[in-house]
Amino acid sequence: MNKILERPTLKNEYIVPCSKSVLHRLLILQAFAKKEVEVTYDEPVGDDIKATIECLKTLKAYRDEMDSHNFENIDAPTLDCRDSGSTYRFLLGVTNKLGIKCKLTGTKKLIERVNSGAPTSQFLTGELLGTYLAGKDINSVIIPDNQVSKAYIDLTKDIIKKFDSNSSIHAEGDWSLGALWLVAGAISGRKVAVKNLDDSSMQGDKRIVDLIKLFAETDERVIDGSLNPDLVPILSVLASFSKGTTRIENIEHLRHKESDRVESPARLINNLGGNAITGRDYIEIEGKRLTGGTV
């Protein structure tokens, strides 16, 4: 598809949808937990959440059939995770911990990604969710000191705690998506209100607020991208519009996402008149306002 994009007109206010990171976890907990917890969320939801919902429906139908027939020679279900790495990795941990027989599948690209051996926190989150649902202490799960995306592990623990102590939970807004509009406001010099974000959230990407301040206060920045991998693309854009140079490092694992998220931002920036270079585990960007081009 070809589309010409002119300078956009920013609105004064944006309302972000619910966090898929939060909702994945809540829906899985709700589906398998012995206690009843009402989980609510705002529409619309993306394809990854739809994949999780369909997989949970398939598992429920399978478990209902097992219960009604009271025998175990029913074929194990196949769960189509589509292109959602979260769905695959979370459900792998949960079904293993609960001893539920099933086959996990998805797109060719997804299978390549989950079998690549690239470091991710999602397998560990699946283990934490499964441990809780099996009635065991989640503190028994060992978290490596050098764990990438550790903020997502903290988020998982926080959601389990809230789920365990509440009868109803509403999925909060997505800081990863909110970051897009916060950065848009920052580089345009306009005040942009972003609503449906919780200041007390355990979502790691809430760090975008502090990072925007960092860009305004200093011209030389070194940022550990492993702490907030989902922010790396939009931080790259922010770096292009900021004075000085920015190095985002410790991001080799981003080369194994749906796309190579080290090369993709650099290529986009360079094609639009900016200046970005990459290494094995970093991207360096020189502040140079983008002038336009073809991407």
* Among candidate residues 39, 13, 31, the one with its CA nearest the CA of residue 172: 39
* Mean pLDDT per 10-residue interval, the chain, length 295 residues: 84 95 98 96 94 97 81 83 97 96 96 89 97 97 90 96 97 97 94 94 96 97 94 97 97 90 96 97 94 90
Catalytic residues: 230
- Residue 257: per-residue pLDDT: 84
- Residue 72: per-residue pLDDT: 60
Q: Which residues sit opposite 103 in a β-bridge?
A: 78
* Three-state secondary-structure class, residue 193: strand
Listed in order, strand segments (DSSP E) in 142-249 are: 168-170, 193-195, 220-224, 245-249
- Residue 152: per-residue pLDDT: 94
Radius of gyration of the chain (CA): 21
- Residue 74: per-residue pLDDT: 80
- Residue 154: per-residue pLDDT: 95
